[in-house]
Amino acid sequence: MNEVLPFFATVPKNMESFLVEELESLGAQEVKETRAGASFSGSWELAYRVCLWSRIANRVLFPFARFSAETPEELYEGIRAIRWEDHVKNSGTLAVDFHSSRSAIKHTKYGALKVKDGIVDYFRDKTGVRPSVEFKTPDLRVNIFLMNDEARVCIDLSGESLHRRGYRIDGAHAPLKENLAAAILIKSGWREIAQEGGGLLDPMCGSGTLPIEAAMIAADSAPGLLRPYFGFLKWEQHQTRIWENLLEEAEEREREGFNKIPPIVGYDSDAAAVQIAFRNLERVGMTGMVHFEKKQLADCVPPSKARSQPGLVIVNPPYGERLGKVYELKSLYAALGKQLKTQFSGWRAGMLTGNPDLGKSMGLRAVQKRAFFNGTIPCELLQFEVVPEFFVNEEHILFKKPEGVAIRSQIVPLAEPFANRIKKNRRKLKSWLKRESISAYRIYDQDLPEFAVAIDIYEQWVHVQEYEAPSTVNPQKAQERLQALMDALPLVLEFPPENIFLKVRRKQKGAFQYEKYGTDQKLFPVREYGCQFLVNFTDYLDTGLFIDHRLTRKLIGEMAQGKRFLNLFSYTGSSTVYAALGGAVSTTSVDMSRHYLAWTKKNLLLNGISLHDHHLIEANCLEWVESEKRQYDLIFLDPPTFSNSKKMAGTFDVQRDHGPLIQSVMRLLAPEGILLFSNNFQKFKLDPAIASDFQTENWTPRTIPPDFQRKARIHQCWKITRQ
């Protein structure tokens, strides 16, 4: 009964640290954080306790067998070798979940079919009776993880995701999963606030998930107490007495906790959503303990019973992702900020948003940020202290039109060819952008010679770079075209003017005043293939994210699983983020700029990546590679075209110096490793000696995305390995 056994709990990405803390608080031993989960050890009582009490986990798995499975036949035979009567009756039901990584069997449905065949054939040959398949509530749910052609066989003790508490029938628009709601509340300090008697208010409560989860936390109510189904209930090794004792304990704790619930209120302007919230509250058995009401945001005030003690405002407003355009939501966020500042002074607030820049419209400075995922949408939890020292009176403006120069209400004839080209490009890219979920892309790059600009869209922002006109072009004519272009952009792109920023590479002349590069240090988060990056539109010619390298970064993420990754000339660390999220066991980012390394650190933390195994080194890459002793499995080398930095003894020219540099870097490459070498010199030619000494493959075509096809030599990329 007290045998120490291995277990594994899964969790949504970026919630791993919460899971580790929770497992340790429940008594788990040897807790080790992994990507999207944590391993731990303990008794059967502990495993059941985690299933009953975890507010964060998705599933709890018991791994009980391992074997090599390089082929479907080996997988089938390995499954048949297990004594399945120890786990399920021959007349029972089963379901199989199959996952594969870096293994010969890649098709998950095929792998699951072979596992199912192995189990049912085992029983058919032995007893003549076989279990049937039941996907929803099987007697036994088997999880198979195939990693490096080794199968790990697990019993899914949870049976279905633990976020399904059993109280929510259906949801209003964009409902939060229950475990995400719990994590948001815990991170926002709700447990401590509730213990001190502070109240909670959700002004946009929808189906009531946040207030109900808050009540369960305050009441010390086990989140799994209402669940009618767990994966272990009909498992042949189920410990009935242990489970019954845990249920009795949880019910007693809940009875005592019901008397400790502070004032909790949920408001929503949608009457139908409020009715759903009431039904969910009734199912959880807390009718009368949480108050729901149809109310407009402007009418939201602290609950009367909670005014003597500061509490928590928690809210999950629309993001502009599926529920409306971003700029249409700015007034909503501004109204929320106004209500907080005028009615909730001294309170704390937490807001989950998929568009953190909308938070700037609130007029409140966030004291802390935390990256989460709401389903597949990258989000941030912005945390506020509603006190005057964090009030912001002026919204940061990216684009300022000069005095005396008006933004036109219609496109002038001069800009019509430009506007038509933008519309054409947008139609051409539309299906690709939707299919790939791309939100930062190039929509125009000097397509028409008379409009010599590059235009990049970063979600709700537009970054315009003007190419310097040749001396043969009349400066006044160029000025007029640029003015017409900038007037047309808000109309043709349907972006507000304040979200458009222009950079030029020459002295400003004429009536239109261009922003100079400055020191605002304003960073804005953008998303790319599930990652988030901070970009700067004001201080540098480049934003901090080279979007033409999008596919290169994706390749790095796909190749990084289990690898030691080295990023040379790492800039703001976007490739490091991909490698870390792709499962690299460690990353090392080397750059001589302390500023860019600090930016890299912010990008890592924004994606919920711990710095424990991810090292940032401030050094001259040319010198560092000569002294480094360690080897790496995957290296990304993306040097500048030219550099004469004061931190270097001489100059660096990529065409002249890339050969010796690659030779030095290859010394750090593990025997089976891969070097990706990239640069942005359009006339670049690879040194023949490199092609002779190493195996080289030109990956340029596969790394140029559709939005850069017109300038397919914007960068060049090679895969280099040992002979």
What does the DSSP assignment read for 298-312? GG----GGGTTS--E
Compute the average pLDDT of residues 480-489.
Answer: 88
> Residue 501 has what pLDDT?
86
Query: Does the pLDDT at position 376 exceed 90?
Result: no
**Lowest model confidence (mean pLDDT) among 133-137, 162-166, 390-394, 479-483:** 390-394
**Lowest model confidence (mean pLDDT) among 9-18, 500-509, 671-680:** 500-509
CA gap 354, 378 in Å, rounded? 6
CA gap 225, 253 in Å, rounded? 11
pLDDT digit string, tens, across residues 84-141: 999 999 999 999 999 999 999 999 999 999 999 999 999 999 999 999 999 999 999 9
> Residue 471 has what pLDDT?
64
> Residue 521 has what pLDDT?
62
pLDDT digit string, tens, across residues 699-716: 999 999 999 988 878 999
Whole-number percent of the chain with pLDDT over 90: 74
The residues facing 271 across adjacent strands are: none
- Edge-first strand listing for the sheet containing 440-445: 440-445, 453-458, 461-466, 500-504
CA gap 131, 11 in Å, rounded? 30
- The radius of gyration of the chain from alpha carbons, rounded to an integer in Å, stands at 29
Compute the average pLDDT of residues 157-164.
Answer: 96
Q: Cβ distance 212 to 290 under 8 Å? A: yes
DSSP run (H or E) holding 503: strand 500-504
> Residue 334 has what pLDDT?
85
Q: How confident is the model at residue 175 (pLDDT cuts 50, 70, 90)?
A: confident
**Lowest model confidence (mean pLDDT) among 192-206, 230-244, 317-331, 634-648:** 317-331
> Residue 172 has what pLDDT?
45
pTM of the model: 0.58
> Residue 318 has what pLDDT?
84
CATH architecture for residues 5-156: 2-Layer Sandwich (3.30)
> Residue 103 has what pLDDT?
94
CA gap 459, 334 in Å, rounded? 20
> Residue 510 has what pLDDT?
33
Compute the average pLDDT of residues 513-532.
Answer: 66
Whole-number percent of the chain with pLDDT over 70: 91
Alpha-helical segments (H) within 310-396: 326-343
What's CA 368's distance to the chain center, in Å? 17
Task: Take residue 592 and report the two structure tokens written for it.
Answer: 């001589």
Domains 178-224+257-390 and 524-721 share a fold: yes
Q: Which CATH number applies to 524-721: 3.40.50.10090, 1.25.40.10, 3.40.50.12640, 3.40.50.150?
A: 3.40.50.150
Higher-pLDDT residue of 23 and 470 is 23
> Residue 401 has what pLDDT?
39
Single out the residue of 456, 459, 421, 462 nearest to residue 441, CA to CA.
456
CB within 8 A of 113, min separation 6: which ones?
A: none
pLDDT digit string, tens, across residues 27-45: 999 999 998 999 999 999 9
Query: Does the pLDDT at position 322 exceed 70?
Result: no
Q: How confident is the model at residue 397 (pLDDT cuts 50, 70, 90)?
A: very low
Q: How confident is the model at residue 634 (pLDDT cuts 50, 70, 90)?
A: very high
Query: Does the pLDDT at position 170 exceed 70?
Result: no
Task: Take residue 439 and report the two structure tokens written for it.
Answer: 């939100």
> Residue 514 has what pLDDT?
32
Query: Does the pLDDT at position 635 exceed 70?
Result: yes
> Residue 93 has what pLDDT?
97
Token pair 């290169």 is at which residue? 552
pLDDT digit string, tens, across residues 556-583: 999 999 999 999 999 999 999 999 999 9
Single out the residue of 411, 683, 679 nearest to residue 568, CA to CA.
679
Compute the average pLDDT of residues 616-638.
Answer: 96
The residues facing 80 across adjacent strands are: none
CA gap 55, 183 in Å, rounded? 8
Task: Take residue 625 and report the two structure tokens written for it.
Answer: 């590679």
> Residue 515 has what pLDDT?
35
Q: How confident is the model at residue 343 (pLDDT cuts 50, 70, 90)?
A: very high
Q: How confident is the model at residue 291 (pLDDT cuts 50, 70, 90)?
A: very high
> Residue 645 has what pLDDT?
60
Q: Which CATH superfamily is domain 413-504 in?
A: RNA methyltransferase domain (HRMD) like (3.30.750.80)
Query: Does the pLDDT at position 69 exceed 70?
Result: yes
Higher-pLDDT residue of 361 and 646 is 361
Q: Where are the domains of the chain?
A: 5-156, 178-224+257-390, 413-504, 524-721
Q: Nearest 10 degrees: CA dihedral of 351, 218, 27, 178?
A: -50
322 half-sphere exposure, CB direction, 13 A CA radius? 9
Higher-pLDDT residue of 144 and 648 is 144
Q: Which CATH superfamily is domain 178-224+257-390 in?
A: Vaccinia Virus protein VP39 (3.40.50.150)
CA gap 384, 697 in Å, rounded? 51
Q: How confident is the model at residue 324 (pLDDT cuts 50, 70, 90)?
A: very low
**Lowest model confidence (mean pLDDT) among 163-177, 370-384, 620-634:** 163-177
> Residue 404 has what pLDDT?
37
CB within 8 A of 593, min separation 6: which ones?
A: 618
> Residue 393 has what pLDDT?
53
pLDDT digit string, tens, across residues 401-414: 333 334 455 788 99
CA gap 75, 67 in Å, rounded? 8
Judged by phi (left if over 0) then psi (alpha if -120 to 50, else beta), residue 712 lies in alpha
> Residue 72 has what pLDDT?
95
Length of the chain: 723
Judged by phi (left if over 0) then psi (alpha if -120 to 50, else beta), residue 566 lies in beta
Query: Does the pLDDT at position 171 exceed 70?
Result: no
Q: Cβ distance 39 to 6 under 8 Å? A: yes
φ, ψ of residue 53 in degrees (nearest 5): -110, -10
Buried b (16+ CB within 10 A) or exposed e, 323-359: eeebbebbebbbbbbebbbebbeebbbbbbbbbbbbb
Mean pLDDT of the chain: 89
Q: How confident is the model at residue 330 (pLDDT cuts 50, 70, 90)?
A: confident
> Residue 59 has what pLDDT?
97
